[in-house]
Structure 1
Amino acid sequence: MTNNAIKTWLAESIFSRSLKARLIVSALLFVLLLLPVIGFALNDAFKEQMLASAKEELSAYMYSVLAITEVEQGQVLLPEVLLENRFNLINSGLYALVSAPSNDDKLDQLLLRHKQHIVWSSASFQGQEKPYRLPKPAMGQMDFAEIQINNKPHLIFSFSANFASHAAISGSASEAESSSPEANSSSANPTSNFPVTIHIIKDKRALLIQINAFTSKLWNWLWVILVVLLGLQLSWLLWTLKPLARFTDELNRVEQGQGTQLSQDYPQELNVVAKQLNGLLRNEQNQRQRYRNALADLAHSLKTPLAIIQTQQGLSPSSQEQVANINRIISYQLRRAQSAAGSAWHLGVQAEKVTSKLCRTLNKIYPHIDIHCHVDQQVIFRGDEGDLTEMLGNVLDNACKAAKHQLRLTVLSTGDQVIIHVEDDGKGISQEKQQGIFERGVRADTYAQGHGIGLAISLDLVTSYQGQLSITESAHLGGAKFSFIFPN
């Protein structure tokens, strides 16, 4: 089966045929899609918050280092021991660096593309590999980024500042003392700008550990929430759809003949449907009963005059035959008109109930025939009990007439079909006569009596139920085999 065929089958079997499946699958997909999105959003927000917190922390360290930084004669001066103890511990994961522009062209070409070189580092940076590149933000600006030191991720916060560097004073102190105040005022120490960039570096592994711990706990809780939400949604959907399930059960009971009406204890939306269906059922039942009563009255009113005519003395044989034909035609048409196949959707009867009655009756009429009935008690014939009795009764009666010693009746269900087999051990029916035997007034030579109308009535009834009736040879008994197939 191809992927497209599988998708089509899933779409038809799940979404097209079941409203409950649609709602449940939609709710599951909603939860399965929503919670991961929430998880990723929360995790990303936590990472951003942790990075912002780390930036604020490094910014505070940078200002503490900037406050004690001095530049004299082109050299950066900082205390050997800083206030933050981690700057004083080797490999503590927190480092402070000060870089300045390089005037060494050779050094610039070989090492530092940004014309920066480290002019001071904290004690904690001893033994660490010097970064290949250091950020150089614009003067008075800050930069927050990530670098690799010893192939490990680190966060770096950089700030560029400009210091005034005082030049050396020429001459002796005596010359300075002999000079006048005006001269001293005019010969103040010259100054020059000395730009530096302060870098605070922190190992990122501690931050990653916190993020991973939060991520793990977040997804664990999301899984718990997912299971709880799925359980709650499933329970809620089943409770919401419970009236639909009860509605379906009542329809099935009506279809199987176990009820005639639907209860009206439903929510407002379904109550209207149930009320209309009940009205339809009542009207159909009343109409069918009126038809049957009218047909019964018609049959009685016609058969009585015909019976009187048949008892008349001196009636010619041709007249007797015509009266008999009229009688058969009336019986045939009345039986067809009384069929309930058109309204069989809400009718149903257990096949075993009908077959057991027929077998008991036939055992009394044909005591010399051994009748074996193999009927699945779960099989439901979706139609009128009288119609099933008429169809099977005609075929069984003819089979008993044709049988020598045995007759077998089998009723089974294949899920979507109800199959009935009637077999006898008689002479069977030739293929030439298998079609003609169903015609009105035609009977096989096997049967010594009857007018040939019963099988025609059975075939018409089977056809009205969208079923099939066929004749073959019985593989078990050797005689004829009549097979009924009805949609279930």
Structure 2
Amino acid sequence: MKPRLTSLTARVLLLATLWSAVALVVIAVVISTLYRQGTERGFQELLRAQLYNVINSVSVGEDKQLAGRPELGDLRFSQPATGWYWMVEPLGDFKAEPLTSASLGVTQLAMPPIAEVPFDDNYERFYVEEDGQGNTVQVAETEVVLDQDGRAARFRVSGNRALVEADIQAFSNRLYLALGGFGIGSLVVNALAILIGLKPLDQARAALERIRRGEAERLPTDFPREIQPLASEVNALIDSNRRIVERARMQVGNLAHSLKTPIAVLLNEARVLDRGHGELVKSQAEAMQGQVQSYLNRARIAAQRDTVLARSEAEPVLERLLRVMRRLNPGLAFDLSVVPPGLSLAMEQQDVEETVGNLLDNAARFAKSRVSVAVSPSAEGPSAEEAQRRAWVEVLVDDDGPGLEPEEITEALKRGRRLDESKPGTGLGLSIVTEITSEYEGRFTLTRSPSGGLRARLILPGVAISG
């Protein structure tokens, strides 16, 4: 599977950065090319002007030789090996000594064949050569008839292209520096614009986080119009969930009321029957009562498990349970540890009380002197996927009783099974814990406690603690 960006901000920033980079590179290339073309055109015009200055300064003297001394107003034509030269060479039958600038000295300047670089419509041609001093020069050349007798000469003027290249390089450096600064500035401005533009999404996320923590019940209604429909749909979903929960609670209450009286009648009638039949009716009524309670719990939990409204702070709920257990068991010590303080479970309070209460009741029946409850965050969920998807809480209930062997633990988790018939109880407590934990997608296990007794370990859905 190909990796992909999951951050909307990162996606927009990446696209904006790529677009800005491509646009700036294209702009830099276009401007640099246009400047080069303009500079080379200007350089060529300079050489043409110098060429015609030489033409205007040279003629055929009375001795039938080339005469004239061009003054081009540029000292580089008089300094050796500068790459700035002018030359006048006789053509055809015109036998005369050529004229050259002082800068040329003994340097020879090559000339490409006309077939390779032909003359244009103005009978001019421009080409690039290297002089004997290692300079790359551009040459402007033409041929002119000097008198009525048809004497003609070839005129050439050259200029050092290092001047052009240095000018273009200096311009390009300034251009790249300016565009680089502009690009960085644009990137910062784009990032600020994107972050400011996406700020309402962060506000929506924070509002949903407050709802998840139980600090609010609805999203605010002051979002921009592009996000407000989403907020309205989320609020509608929350309202729908709340109605489902309330309707389920009402139906569960009605069903509990409707079954409570018939079951109580059966239990009362069982007491007045003869021993054999009475025990049979009583056991079946108690089993029916347990089954009804179990399925009522399932229906209620299923109705509210997937909502965002179930929140129970662990410490006050468990402290109330322990106060009851201390009164019922004055000979036992009950300890509670909740780390960090303020840890909450994503469960209804009555489900927390019933789950941990059954474990405390079971531990109190077998403990010698002490029962301890420890609550802490857990990085371990029912599965690796669940551990990453949501927060989980570990609840440990330890006693210092005789404990159970592995095969006895398997037997104890079966519905209605009691390993010690001398102790009071129906044998339904641990199976109820298993069912409620399972409905919340959690996990329940029994192991040997470090104190020698039994350890009940619960992995239950928690509420993420905000930083």
Offset, 1:76? 6.4
Tell me the matched-pair count: 437
Q: Is the alpha carbon distance of 1:458 and 1:97 closer, same or farther for their aligned partners in structure 2, counting shifts above 3 Å?
A: farther
Q: Is the alpha carbon distance of 1:20 and 1:252 closer, same or farther for their aligned partners in structure 2, counting shifts above 3 Å?
A: same
* Partners of 1:141 and 1:385 in 2: CA distance: 102
Q: 1:33 aligns with which of 17, 22, 35?
A: 22
* Partners of 1:363 and 1:285 in 2: CA distance: 36
Q: Is the alpha carbon distance of 1:358 and 1:237 closer, same or farther for their aligned partners in structure 2, counting shifts above 3 Å?
A: farther
Task: Report the equivalent of 2:282.
Answer: 320
**Matching of residue 149 in structure 1 with residue 131 in structure 2:** yes
Secondary structure in structure 2 of the residue aligned to 1:60? helix
Q: Is the alpha carbon distance of 1:143 and 1:192 closer, same or farther for their aligned partners in structure 2, counting shifts above 3 Å?
A: closer
Unpaired runs of 5+ residues, structure 1, are 104-116, 167-190
Secondary structure in structure 1 of the residue aligned to 2:126? strand
Alignment of 1:319-398 (within 5 A): 319-340=281-302, 343-347=305-309, 349=311, 350-352=313-315, 354-367=317-330, 368-377=332-341, 379-398=343-362
Q: 2:452 aligns with which of 478, 483, 486?
A: 478
Task: Report the equivalent of 1:107.
Answer: none
Q: 2:104 aligns with which of 84, 104, 125?
A: 125
Q: 2:84 aligns with which of 94, 97, 108?
A: 94
- Name the aligned partner's letter for residue 422 of structure 1: L
After TM superposition, the score normalised by the length of structure 1 is 0.78
Task: Report the equivalent of 2:54.
Answer: 65
Q: 1:307 aligns with which of 251, 264, 268?
A: 264
* Partners of 1:355 and 1:100 in 2: CA distance: 116
State the percentage of identical aligned residues.
24
* Partners of 2:329 and 2:432 in 1: CA distance: 22
Greater Rg by CA: 1
Q: Is the alpha carbon distance of 1:465 and 1:325 closer, same or farther for their aligned partners in structure 2, counting shifts above 3 Å?
A: closer
Instruction: Answer whether contact 2:53 2:70 (CA < 8 A) is retained.
Output: no
Instruction: Answer whether contact 1:344 1:383 (CA < 8 A) is retained.
Output: no
Q: 1:262 aligns with which of 219, 238, 242?
A: 219
Offset, 1:134? 4.8
Instruction: Answer whether contact 2:145 2:152 (CA < 8 A) is retained.
Output: yes
Unpaired runs of 5+ residues, structure 2, are 380-386, 463-467
Instruction: Answer whether contact 2:219 2:235 (CA < 8 A) is retained.
Output: yes
Q: Is the alpha carbon distance of 1:85 and 1:258 closer, same or farther for their aligned partners in structure 2, counting shifts above 3 Å?
A: closer
Secondary structure in structure 1 of the residue aligned to 2:189? helix
**Matching of residue 42 in structure 1 with residue 31 in structure 2:** yes
Task: Report the equivalent of 2:377.
Answer: 412
Alignment of 1:210-289 (within 5 A): 210-289=167-246
Instruction: Answer whether contact 1:258 1:348 (CA < 8 A) is retained.
Output: no
* Partners of 1:46 and 1:418 in 2: CA distance: 66
Q: Is the alpha carbon distance of 1:272 and 1:212 closer, same or farther for their aligned partners in structure 2, counting shifts above 3 Å?
A: same
Instruction: Answer whether contact 2:210 2:216 (CA < 8 A) is retained.
Output: yes
Q: Is the alpha carbon distance of 1:484 and 1:314 closer, same or farther for their aligned partners in structure 2, counting shifts above 3 Å?
A: closer
- Name the aligned partner's letter for residue 54 of structure 2: V
Instruction: Answer whether contact 1:87 1:122 (CA < 8 A) is retained.
Output: no
- Name the aligned partner's letter for residue 42 of structure 1: I
Which digits, 9 at most, give the CA deviation of each residue in 1:38-64, with x for residues without a partner? 223222222222111111111111121
Task: Report the equivalent of 1:401.
Answer: 365
Q: 1:194 aligns with which of 152, 162, 183?
A: 152
Offset, 1:208? 2.7
Of residues 392-401 and 265-274 in structure 1, the stretch that sits farther from structure 2 once superposed is: 392-401
Offset, 1:226? 1.9
Instruction: Answer whether contact 1:94 1:202 (CA < 8 A) is retained.
Output: yes
Which digits, 9 at most, give the CA deviation of each residue in 1:425-447, with x for residues without a partner? 33333222333433321244499
Q: Is the alpha carbon distance of 1:213 and 1:377 closer, same or farther for their aligned partners in structure 2, counting shifts above 3 Å?
A: farther
- Name the aligned partner's letter for residue 36 of structure 1: V
Instruction: Answer whether contact 1:87 1:96 (CA < 8 A) is retained.
Output: no
Q: Is the alpha carbon distance of 1:70 and 1:454 closer, same or farther for their aligned partners in structure 2, counting shifts above 3 Å?
A: farther
- Name the aligned partner's letter for residue 435 of structure 2: D
* Partners of 1:210 and 1:24 in 2: CA distance: 36
- Name the aligned partner's letter for residue 136 of structure 2: H
Task: Report the equivalent of 1:175.
Answer: none
Secondary structure in structure 1 of the residue aligned to 2:261? helix
Instruction: Answer whether contact 2:415 2:427 (CA < 8 A) is retained.
Output: yes
Instruction: Answer whether contact 1:161 1:195 (CA < 8 A) is retained.
Output: yes
Q: Is the alpha carbon distance of 1:132 and 1:383 closer, same or farther for their aligned partners in structure 2, counting shifts above 3 Å?
A: farther
Alignment of 1:446-485 (within 5 A): 448-474=423-449, 476-485=450-459
Secondary structure in structure 1 of the residue aligned to 2:425? coil
Q: Is the alpha carbon distance of 1:209 and 1:165 closer, same or farther for their aligned partners in structure 2, counting shifts above 3 Å?
A: same
Instruction: Answer whether contact 2:131 2:137 (CA < 8 A) is retained.
Output: no
